[in-house]
Amino acid sequence: MSNALYWQVSGQGHDLVLVHGWGMNGAVWQQIVDVLDVDFRVHVVDLPGYGHSAHCNAQNLEEIAEQLMVDAPKNAIWVGWSLGGLVATHMAIYHTDYVNKLVTVASSPKFSADKEPNMWRGIQPDVLTVFTEQLMENFQTTIERFMALQSMGSPSARKDVKQLKQAVLSRPLPDFDSLLAGLKMLSEIDLRPQLTQIPVPMLRLYGRLDALVPVDVAEVIGKVLPNTEQYIFNQSSHAPFMTEANMFCEQLLRFANK
What dotted CATH number matches 6-256? 3.40.50.1820
In 3D space, the residue among 27, 18, 17, 19 whose CA is nearest the CA of residue 173 turns out to be 27
Which spans in the chain are helix H?
30-36, 61-68, 83-94, 125-137, 139-151, 157-169, 176-188, 216-224, 240-243, 245-256
- Tell me which residues are annotated as active site: 82, 210, 238
Distance CA 48, CA 10 (A): 21
Ordered by start, the domain boundaries in the chain are 6-256
Distance CA 148, CA 152 (A): 6
Q: What does the pLDDT profile of the chain (258 residues) look like in tens digits?
A: 578 999 999 999 999 999 999 999 999 999 999 999 999 999 999 999 999 999 999 999 999 999 999 999 999 999 999 999 999 999 999 999 999 999 999 999 999 988 766 688 888 888 888 888 888 788 788 888 888 888 888 888 889 889 888 998 899 989 999 999 999 999 999 999 999 999 999 999 999 999 899 999 999 999 999 999 999 999 999 999 999 999 999 999 999 998
187, 128 Cβ separation under 8 angstroms: yes
Torsions phi, psi for 73 (to 5 deg): -75, 150
Distance CA 241, CA 81 (A): 9
Helix (H, G, I), strand (E, B) or coil at 57: coil
Distance CA 124, CA 147 (A): 17
pTM (2 decimals)?
Answer: 0.95
251, 203 Cβ separation under 8 angstroms: yes
